[in-house]
Structure 1
Amino acid sequence: MPSEAVMPGFANALLILAAVVLIVRRQTQPQRMSGSKRWWLLPVLLGYVGLRGSGVVDTQHETASLVLLGGEIVVGLLMGAAWAWTSRVWTEQDGSVWTRGTRSTAVVWVVGITARLGLMGAGLLIGIHQGSGALLVALAASLLVRAGVLELRARALHPATALAGGVR
């Protein structure tokens, strides 16, 4: 029977894999922006799951671990912003707003993942052991910034509807 310490890490790994597969699938196809006021919900849930788990901060190397986590979050924020700004956003004739990742978006993903792997490798070299929670928090930061920037870009296409509470 798996130990309780292994299961949360395994569950987080599955959650990360599922989120990345969903995100990549959605980015390769045009996606209608719904104008939902809940665009922040998935990133907040991922962040919560990441922070509630053990292993976000290595108690043996607290300061270095927090610096590494901060670096992960900064990379996540930068990746989310670059991801949103490299995505194409347009309006159809019916007034609906659509988005789709571009080749530049793919480059952002490769650079972001490489930076995260570099941070993880540096942490391992100095003996920091962080669980998958740090990765979930960084992914949540990316998704939150991306969704927020895309929402702002969509509202800029429809300034009148922005006053009414969202893109329709």
Structure 2
Amino acid sequence: MPGLVNALVIVAVVALVVVRQFRARPIDTDRRWWIVPLVLAFLALREPGILDAHHRVGSAVLLSAEVLIGLATGAGWAWTTRVWTEPDGVVWTRSTKASAVVWGVGICLRVALFALGALVGMHQDSSALMAGLAATLLVRSGVLTWRAQSLKRSAVQGAAYGDSVARSATKERV
């Protein structure tokens, strides 16, 4: 039963994250962005079946590869996400088509890793997938928070000439 619960948690988190990330939304750099990945990592690592009892070294290598794929996917996703600052100083974010490609490649690599493990006869638990997802979300959230904070700092530091001048309501053309 824990495998089914883990699978449902993974599907729910992925669905929530993907749906939310492909819509423009403000990013809050003051929130605790590391909590969800930390909870997922805790849920993954508390499972005794995360390593195959008969193939400890091989399953540890596969788990390490899963986490590395998660780290790379998170970094790729964060760097392909569009981040911008509105005139009121709020930083916004939205994933792009390149972000979807990064997700697709990450999923393909995870499927290949699972197939490799099944080919050599290793038992693979869903907790390894959850650990990889935790790594993905941790790196992505950390990089996006860092990018957003650097945008906020540059917006505050670099006031442009004419910022204090009242603007007309009509759209300016260049």
TM over 0.5: yes
Q: Which residue of 2 aligns with 1:117?
A: 111
Question: In the alignment, is residue 64 of structure 1 matched against residue 58 of structure 2?
Answer: yes
Distance 1:151 1:116, change over 3 A: same
Secondary structure (helix, strand or coil) at the match of 1:159 reads helix
- Is contact 1:54–1:133 with CA below 8 Å preserved after alignment? no
Unaligned runs of 5+ in 2: 157-174
Bigger radius of gyration: 2
Structure 2: distance between partners of 1:39 and 1:9: 26
Segments ≥4 residues shifted beyond 3 Å: none
Unaligned runs of 5+ in 1: 1-6, 163-168
What is the CA distance between 1:36 and its match in structure 2?
2.7
Q: How much is the aligned-residue C-alpha RMSD, in angstroms?
A: 1.4
What is the CA distance between 1:24 and its match in structure 2?
1.1
Q: Which residue of 2 aligns with 1:147?
A: 141
Given candidates 63, 81, 97, the residue that maps to 1:87 is: 81
What is the CA distance between 1:31 and its match in structure 2?
1.8
- Is contact 1:54–1:131 with CA below 8 Å preserved after alignment? no
Alignment of 1:1-168 (within 5 A): 7-159=1-153
Q: TM-score, normalised by structure 1?
A: 0.89
Structure 1: distance between partners of 2:141 and 2:70: 13
C-alpha offsets along residues 97-148 of structure 1, whole Å, 9 cap, x if unaligned?
1110000000000000000000010001001112110000000000000000
Matched residue count: 156
Q: TM-score, normalised by structure 2?
A: 0.86
Identity %, equivalent residues = 50
Structure 2: distance between partners of 1:117 and 1:52: 23
Secondary structure (helix, strand or coil) at the match of 2:3 reads helix
C-alpha offsets along residues 23-65 of structure 1, whole Å, 9 cap, x if unaligned?
1101220121112341000000001001111321001100000
Secondary structure (helix, strand or coil) at the match of 2:51 reads coil
Residue type at the aligned position of 2:120:
I
Structure 2: distance between partners of 1:53 and 1:161: 45
Structure 1: distance between partners of 2:63 and 2:3: 17
Normalized per residue, which structure has more helix?
A: 1
Residue type at the aligned position of 1:86:
T
- Is contact 1:86–1:101 with CA below 8 Å preserved after alignment? yes
Secondary structure (helix, strand or coil) at the match of 1:89 reads strand
